[in-house]
A and B are shown apart, each in its own frame.
Chain A
């Protein structure tokens, strides 16, 4: 990454985020990456006058991450998305879709939690 990525822990995250908010940073988004079978990286991207700033939170999959949506309401959507796709739980979500933002019962597993997936459901033509 061109910009520096600051590592945070679940405990320091809250302060950092509040600080960002105080400094007038705009919340861009969060990205979640699966690292191995039980940890993921959650990256927080912020922007101020076109300058990016990133935080990295590395947490185990089965642990709930603190939600930043009470601070940055805009984060509720992406946090719900991560819940859907990675099965990570967020604590204190402003609006909790409870893993139904995108997914129906048919897709019960966390689809992004596999390095390779060949989920070809009856595709034809090949």
Chain B
């Protein structure tokens, strides 16, 4: 019997990014899904060979435009640890503030795209409308809407003035208010639930076995989050991971939605506890040795493996992004679902291909 074979992507409007899935369908039920990557692969890890370790910050930031600041943060933390640099406390808090603002932005972006995946256009528009406020915060504080570019080795380059923090808080209040209005839709609407509940189930065991991270892991009922390690200033902030237990698209949606609140709360707390003082220290020497640096991205655990050899160019820089880890779980979710649910399921892990392929 002939089956329908569909090239899903590389150019497909549901995914903003080129990801290719060869789907084999029968009456629109997916029988087989094979991914093809490499459409965004640039090979930027290798740029470490020709750029010095300071310049690599800019490049790490451009691994991905959605989680750029946290990439830089992870990289800088790694190098700092390698070189034994103690970052000023204020810088640590500032890093948290920017990271969490980024998380809000990323989650809102995802909520919109997710809504779009099941054809809820007005919800998509609403999420992105709210997100614009966060983008404004980025632009006002970092000088660019996307690549905030504040992290440097030894701290951060920009400071937040008190009136700026006040403004941020008031903007975030508005954001929170508007996000609250979407709660009834994203978490309780009949049609949304119909399209997400029970779709793409990943059990707790599967999630751990396949190496899922971030909301994908937490959506399956595992309370694990790198922020629990207390890097940067997270140790000083009250933080508990958001968990949902069903492991379906809805649970992941729920985790991300609630994390949006949480991130806003973390920014508030960080601003209220923001210590005075320097924002960076001078860096001397060259990195040497190897280190694994981990932070929590909006999509989950990000890992940098850095190996320095005392020269200005690193020996090896390896980036393992959360989506890279979430792809095997995704592949296990796809067979057996409807074609119409493919975008929903794929988006439910919040794929970021540019992160994945670098």
Contacts and interface: CB of A to CB of B under 8 A. Distances in A.
Is any CB of A less than 8 Å from a CB of B in the complex? yes
Contacts of A118: 50
A1 B292 contact: yes
* Residue from B81, B208, B291 whose CB has the most chain A CB atoms within 10 Å: B208
A101 interface: yes
Interface string A103-125: 11000000110111110000000
**Which 10 residue pairs across A and B have the least CB separation, nearest first?**
A74-B211, A29-B320, A102-B38, A102-B41, A74-B328, A31-B305, A31-B318, A33-B316, A27-B211, A116-B49
A77 interface: yes
Interface stretch (B106-114, B152-160, B224-232, B255-263): B224-232
B37 A50 contact: no
Contacts of B34: 95
A49 B303 contact: no
B208 A24 contact: yes
B218 to A, nearest CB: 13
Given A21-B209, A28-B211, A112-B46, 7 more contacts: A3-B292, A33-B315, A50-B226, A77-B327, A85-B43, A102-B38, A117-B46
A74 B315 contact: no
Contacts of A21: 209
B37 A102 contact: yes
A74 B292 CA distance: 19
A26 B46 contact: no
Interface of A: 1-3, 21, 24, 26-29, 31-34, 43, 45, 47, 49-50, 52, 54, 72-74, 76-78, 85, 95, 100-104, 111-112, 114-118
A87 to B, nearest CB: 14
A74 B316 contact: no
B316 A31 contact: yes
18 contacts: A1-B290, A1-B292, A2-B81, A26-B208, A28-B211, A28-B301, A32-B318, A33-B315, A33-B316, A45-B305, A73-B332, A74-B209, A74-B211, A74-B328, A76-B328, A100-B38, A115-B49, A116-B50
B210 interface: yes
Contacts of A31: 305, 316, 318, 320
Interface residues of B, number: 39
Contact of B38 (A54, A103, A111): A103
Contacts of B81: 2
Contacts of B226: 50
A22 to B, nearest CB: 12
Contacts of A73: 209-210, 328, 332
A31 B332 CA distance: 24
Given A1-B292, A45-B292, A28 B46 contact: no
B124 interface: no
Contacts of A116: 49-50, 313
A103 B43 CA distance: 10
A87 B211 CA distance: 25
A108 to B, nearest CB: 14
A77 B38 CA distance: 12
B268 interface: no
Contacts of B15: none
Interface string B316-349: 1010100011011100100000000000000000
Contacts of A76: 328
